[in-house]
Amino acid sequence: MKPNPLARFLSPHQFLTLQRWERIGSLLLNILVYTLLVLYLLPMVFMAASALMENRQFSDPNAPIYPARQVTFEYEGKARLVYNVPLESGVRQLALVKPGRTSSQFIDPANPAAGLITWQGYWRQLKGDYQFHLSWESFSLLFRTLRLVNLVKNSLLMALITEVGVLVSSIVVAYGFARFPLPGGDFLFYVLIATILIPDKVTLIPSYFMYTQVLHWLGTWYPLLLPFFFGSAVYIFLLRQNFRSIPRDLDEAAMLDGAGPLRILVSVILPQSWPVVITVSLLHFFYIWNETRQAALYLGIRPDLAPVSFGIQNFQSVSPIQNSLQASALVIMIVPVLVLLLSQRFFMQNMIITGTER
């Protein structure tokens, strides 16, 4: 029987050892994941690129996809745009001097002394000669027209205040739901879920009436901040799910040692729940950072108290046409979030390791 020529490669002891298989597998996995990442983020790259484009580029179908500017050449005291002109001798980059419907006149930037070159055809069908160029103008315009520093300060302050309130209250309540028998059994838990599910719109008008007419909180931060000090239903749910997945044995051991319920929460439950606590605090930050509805309702009359999301959204709705100013505003919204996410990565990883060691 003839030996299979592939056998030498397929045999794990010959060419492809187990180690090599593992290495090839790792390589393929890395390639796969990074390709996915590029595809997944491609639209965001588009947005970042748009922020650095000049507005002209959005309407030119022949413009490149990266931020660029059409090359110009100064001739007879005026800046002339350079086009790719197909001549008999090949495509040449020529500056347009006299546009015309059937024939146009060009000048060669490399050799202006040679005089005008005439080309037969409609000049609008020519492709412009673009060169990579970053335009930061829209960012400086944004900083000048929006009071960006004040808006960001408002957002950060709101996030900080509610973060403390929502974390403490949600953790305590979730502990109650996860570990204690409650009157009515699961009934209160179902009420908790129901409050997550009740659409905003159902409660919108009555809440607005209560905050503005009864409590007179229009134009203040109270309607946006106070509810968080009573726990957030969805975070309570998330924390409860996590607390419940921690075995009770440790609680009981601590209880036998004489630990009270709060002591158990702090020394037994929380040390095992850092990943979820950090996840919740980050999610809450993003919530506050992007929130616009409540801000629109209660802070519409006080732009100096508004968060950055509301300020930028207001700014967006002024001009519906695609332009680099919109893209720049969106980039400004995303950059702090990206910075925060990147800076906590190390932090969160450490937490997980200590969490599993215990």
Partner 1 sequence: MLNIFRRKGRTKRQQIDRLLGLLLISPWLIGLVLFKLAPILASLAISFTNFYMLNPQETRFIGLSNYLQVFEDQSVGYILFQTLAMAMGALPLQMTASLALAALLSSPRLKGRGLLRTLFFLPSIIPSVAILFIWQGFVQPGTGWLEKLIIQPMGLEGFNNMYSQAATNLLFGLNSLWSIGPGFLIILAALQGLPPEIQEAARVDGAGPLERFFAITLPLISPAIFFGIVINLITVFGGVILLDRGNVFSGSASPYDGYVSQVMFRQYELGYASALAWVFFVIVMGIILLLFSTSRRWVYYPDKGGQA
Residues 108-167 that bind partner 1 (CB under 8 A): none
- Of residues 77, 199, 257, 318, which one binds partner 1 by CB under 8 A? 199
Assign 267 to helix, strand or coil: helix
Least Å from the CB of residue 175 to partner 1:
6
Total residues contacting partner 1 by CB under 8 A comes to 105
- Of residues 7, 87, 110, 188, which one binds partner 1 by CB under 8 A? 188
Which range of residues in 72-80, 85-93, 105-113, 286-294 is near partner 1 by CB under 8 A?
286-294
- Of residues 10, 44, 79, 253, which one binds partner 1 by CB under 8 A? 44
Q: What is the largest CA-CA distance in the chain?
A: 99
Nearer to partner 1, 150 or 313 (CB): 313
CB-side neighbour CA atoms (13 Å) of 91:
7
Residues contacting 271, CB < 8 A, separation 6+: 354, 355, 358
**Whole-angstrom Cα distance, residue 122 to residue 119?**
9
Residues 335-354 that bind partner 1 (CB under 8 A): 337-338, 341-342, 345-346, 349, 352
Assign 88 to helix, strand or coil: coil
Which DSSP helix (H) or strand (E) runs through 352?
helix 324-357
Q: Is there binding between residue 182 and partner 1 (CB under 8 A)? A: yes
Least Å from the CB of residue 293 to partner 1:
6
Contact string (CB under 8 A) for partner 1, positions 300-319, x = contact: ---------x--xx--x---
Tell me the residue type at 177: F
What tokens were used for 1?
Answer: 């029987």
Least Å from the CB of residue 294 to partner 1:
9
Q: How far is CA 245 from CA 193, 233, 236, 239, 249, in A?
A: 19, 19, 14, 10, 12
Residues 51-80 that bind partner 1 (CB under 8 A): 58-61, 63, 65
Nearer to partner 1, 41 or 87 (CB): 41
Using an 8 Å Cβ cutoff, are 107 and 119 in contact?
Answer: no
- Of residues 100, 112, 121, 227, which one binds partner 1 by CB under 8 A? 227
Q: What radius of gyration, in Å, describes the C-alpha atoms of the chain?
A: 31
